[in-house]
Structure 1
Amino acid sequence: MATGHLLLLLAILPFFLTKVSSDLKPEDNSHNTIQGGLMRGPTRRLMQEIDCGGLCKQRCSLHSRPNVCRRACGTCCLRCKCVPPGTSGNQEACGTCYTGMTTHGNRTKCP
């Protein structure tokens, strides 16, 4: 019985050692690509660390309809992983993903 457990452990051990050693390697960002405005590869995790709620609350603080603004800003932030600085304007800072998004009425979506 103990021999069976030992054989199983020896069979599984190389898998764990390979997995741990591959996790310890420094990230190589040369294989990151941008497809459809979304990052692929290891940097993608870093781009998801944005606080859309806090940034959009600040962005929409002076808006005449802050709830509508925050909802649109949140959608744009989740899709583009960016919120422009300031309370208005500066949409170019987030690139074409942010500036190119439109509503069904063909108006710009992102505040």
Structure 2
Amino acid sequence: MMKLVFANALLVCLLLSSSFLEISMAGSGFCDSKCARRCAKAGVKDRCLKFCGICCEKCHCVPSGTYGNKDECPCYRDLKNSKGKGKCP
């Protein structure tokens, strides 16, 4: 019985630590590098980087390429601005 409780506690700790790791990765260089690639050909690069960074932190992903491929990340694709248009570049 005690082994089962210990195993469950260990499993919960592992799951929580992996969630925190994923969140901290998204806040660090992960989003910066993914958005730099995504916005490489943008006309207004600073604006693209700003909104890509916001979307990446919220969704924890950025579609590949410099345009399109948004089906790779439905959260990124579905975020809308106040006017109902796509928020993420």
Distance 1:60 1:99 in 2: 15
* 1:108 to 2:86 alignment: yes
> Alignment RMSD, CA only?
2.4
Where relative contact order (Cα < 8 A, 6+ residues apart) is larger, the structure is 2
The letter of the residue matching 1:90 is: N
1:42 Cα deviation (Å)?
3.9
TM-score, normalized by length of structure 1?
0.60
The count of corresponding residues between Structure 1 and Structure 2 is 77
- Match of 1:110, SS? coil
Gapped regions of structure 2 (runs ≥ 5): 1-5
Determine what percentage of the aligned residue pairs are the same residue: 32
> Does residue 82 in structure 1 map to residue 61 in structure 2?
yes
Q: From the two aligned structures, give the one with the greater strand fraction.
A: 1
3-state SS, counterpart of residue 50 of structure 2: helix
- Please, which runs of 5 or more residues in structure 1 have no aligned partner? 1-20, 33-40
Rg: which structure is higher?
Answer: 1
TM-score, normalised with respect to structure 2? 0.73
Question: Which is helix-richer, 1 or 2?
Answer: 2
Pairing 1:1-111 to 2, within 5 Å after superposition? 25=10, 27=11, 41-48=16-23, 49-50=25-26, 51-95=30-74, 97-111=75-89
Could you list the structure 1 runs, at least 4 aligned residues long, displaced by more than 3 angstroms after superposition: none
